[in-house]
Structure 1
């Protein structure tokens, strides 16, 4: 079983979501025995499922509440979306790799996560027809935040994403005020696969 507590994760809803989402269902069959380990694992197509601690940390610092509509860029296996779905009202998740998007959509449906919508598309474009979003999370490292995503963030909302190159990345949180101005803060060093535009 995954850890029930982390020393700096305090939101009980986040900890409960990490506890009950079956991570072994989001990894390839040959890696299911390793799913309870707190480390990233490969999921194919050059992508990874993040370690549970990072999923918990990003979810907590996004400050999600039960009335929030969340946009996630980078569905991957669907694990982060599943965790978000237990603390948010709705999750809209965009994946650029068609095979991963299709597999994640079917997996999440099978597991009963009815408030998650998965789209195969270019994450840099977001999901404009369902915007604005209360919270936005990017799960791949960007050089700078895509302008379309900032535009789709509701005033008063938060956006969290890793920023940097292959060697140095930091998790960044943007807070958008009522006038549409954004304040940035760097949180912790992280390692993510790079953000790529376009679709496969």
Structure 2
């Protein structure tokens, strides 16, 4: 069976993403043009545009299209801005960020996922402004500051270092809390002081090392 991916992309945008209040024209255009099927395993290609999380290995998964749409809309990366992504995963959201922003630095703790994402970005020609580093974001540091920080795995508590990487006016997207009910939030490094916007409820796998400490019941 041959899948019409152009039609599948259009259906994803019109039937899943737009109805979930993703109305930003640049975000919709990005989701409607980037080949999501090129960023999933052969075995899952037929499901590339379904309303599902898709497994990537190492306990990681590709977010649902609606969550990716809401994430991009909340962050609103602009053409002149620099992005830090924490958790490269498949490289698909990385490619979307790269399409919207000037430059993306993406951190991936699993070398195999980092290499596969790099290969997919190069094969699709979408990676020219994207750098992937194999690193643990909870131990990594840099003097560089970013306009956008996008965290693709959940955290029990938002690490202070993630917020330190924001420029004035910068935005950080992260999903925080305890599974199965987590909250997606946007931290804005405003001139009048930091503020937090609650976006929506979801449930994502934790970043490695960012899960809540086990609770012992006596």
Relative to the length of structure 1, the TM-score reads 0.92
| Residue aligning to 1:120 | 134
How far residue 121 of structure 1 moved from its aligned partner, in angstroms, is 0.2
1-structure distance, mates of 2:115, 2:63:
19
Q: How many residue pairs were aligned?
A: 196
2:4 corresponding residue in structure 1: none
Which runs of no fewer than 5 residues in structure 1 stay unpaired?
none
Q: Distance in 1 between matches of 2:129 and 2:141?
A: 16
Show the counterpart of 1:52. 65
Specify the SS of the correspondent of 1:67: coil
Does the alignment pair 1:21 with 2:37? no
User: Could you tell which deviates more after superposition, 182-191 or 69-78?
Assistant: 182-191
Aligned to 1:110: 123
Structure 1 residue 38: Cα displacement: 2.1
1:139-192 deviations in whole A, cap 9, x for unaligned?
11111222222111001111010001122200011011236x321121100111
Contact 1:125 1:148 in 2 (8 A): no
User: Aligned-residue CA RMSD in angstroms?
Assistant: 1.5
- Residue 126 of structure 1 and its aligned partner are, at CA, apart by 5.0
| Aligned 1:126-137 pairs, distance under 5 A | 128-129=142-143, 131-137=144-150
Q: Residue 13 of structure 2 is aligned with which of 4, 10, 15?
A: 4
C-alpha contact (below 8 Å) 1:157/1:177 kept by paired residues:
yes
CA distance in 1, matches of 2:87, 2:203: 15
Q: TM-score, normalised by structure 2?
A: 0.85
CA displacement at 1:34 relative to structure 2: 1.0
CA contact (8 A) 1:174 1:183 kept: yes
Structure 2 unaligned runs (5+)? 1-7, 211-218
Select which of 170, 182, 188 maps to 2:200.
188
Deviations 1:20-71 (A, max 9, x none): 1111111111110111212111111211111111111100001211111011
Moved over 4 A (4+): none
CA distance in structure 2 between the partners assigned to 1:41 and 1:53 by the alignment: 13
Greater C-alpha Rg: 2
